[in-house]
Amino acid sequence: MITTTIRVRYAETDQMGVAYYANHFVWFEVARGAFCRARGIDYIAMEADGLYLPIMEAKCRYKTPARYDDELTVAVHVSRLTKRTVHFNYTVMRDGTLIAEGETTQMLVDAKGTPRAFPDDIAARFDSEQAC
């Protein structure tokens, strides 16, 4: 599991000062980026090799509001890895309070959108059993 810290920016809130729901998906992406960096997954190099990981499904369960200037911890881990897909789970916390839980599924595709199997070296880095 990899964690990253995010502070809710004013621009991410609505008129009531509550973080707008869609921003949770942006925070998930920030956590995925931290995960990839920690695991040595070079997404820029993957794209240069013609491999992409589009989101196929995304879910979020909102538990309690996040507000302007809250410091949040977003944790991410791979819950399942198949030959062509990687499934991430996320938790967003503020001082021990669960803000949201989510998940995304991404599929490895080439530049034409054709599904591809993960190269062994990349699959090993996504492996949920691998230590960080």
Positions annotated as catalytic residues are 14
In contact, 129 and 77? CB cutoff 8 Å: no
In contact, 72 and 5? CB cutoff 8 Å: yes
Q: In 5-113, which residue ranges form alpha helices assigned H by DSSP?
A: 23-39, 43-48
In contact, 117 and 126? CB cutoff 8 Å: no
Strand partners, 7: 71
